Structure formats: structure tokens, C-alpha cells
Amino acid sequence: MARTARKSRVAPPATRTFPAGTRGIPELDRLIHERVRLGIVSALAASDTLTFLELKRLLGTSDGNLSVHARRLEEAGYLSCTKTFEGRVPRTEYRLTADGRRAFERYLAHLEALIAHARRR
């Protein structure tokens, strides 16, 4: 059975319906909302690029955990990954894509909307 490559794109978050009399609050982007992925995206939003080792130290996570979460973000088009060698040592560098930056800005706007909604109550 042939396996075809599939490009994964994450749809923009939907608006959840709240009880009568309240405005719909956008749902958080579940892809970014997970702790390690939020850390990756936040760190990359503050830096042009970060290496795998820099992210690993910054987030205090294991190689496998960071690799899985970074790949998920890469498959969604939120970050790009460049692999090179420095001598014989592999170097993996990540950069937030334009789509990733927009998704992070949307995520922050959604958090702000949730906070504003909670404060109005």
C-alpha cells in the first residue's frame, strides 16, 4: 500500500457558543496551547532563530519530547527547521514562520479576550 505525503494545516480556531447574554469567545489554538509547544512558539517569537539545544535548555525538556512537539509545529507550518553540520556535529535550527507568528498573535488575542470576558463577570 503506497503512502502519500499529506500536508497538515491547522484551521483557525472556532468560536465557542457561550450562555445567552454573553458574546462568543474564540477558542484557543489547541496546537499552540500545549505547554511545550507554547514554550517553543513563545521563545521563537522573541528570537529570530534558536537551535535545538537552546530550546531544550530553555524549556527543560527531553530530546524526544522537544523533537515531537517541534515536528508537530513544523507540520502545521508554524515553524521551519534547518539541519546543518558544524564539523561532524549536527545543528538543528528553528525559526517561526509568518503563519506561525500570525497564529501566535491570534493565540495572544484569544487569551486577552478570555481575560477581558472573565473580568467583566
Contact yes or no for 66/55 (Cβ under 8 A): yes
d(CA 40, CA 46): 10
Would you place residue 117 in the very low, low, confident or very high pLDDT band (cuts 50, 70, 90)? confident
> Which domains are delineated in the chain?
27-120 (1.10.10.10)
d(CA 70, CA 81): 9
* pLDDT confidence of residue 121: 77
Supply the pTM of this predicted model. 0.76
The grid coordinates of residue 100 equal 506561525
The grid coordinates of residue 46 equal 522573541
Summarize pLDDT for 9-51 with one digit per residue, the tens. Answer: 444 444 443 444 445 555 788 899 999 999 999 999 999 999 9
d(CA 78, CA 13): 14
Q: Chain-wide mean pLDDT for the chain?
A: 84
* pLDDT confidence of residue 14: 44
d(CA 17, CA 3): 39
Q: What mean pLDDT comes out for the span 86-92?
A: 93
Report the length, in residues, of the chain: 121
Amino acid at 106: R
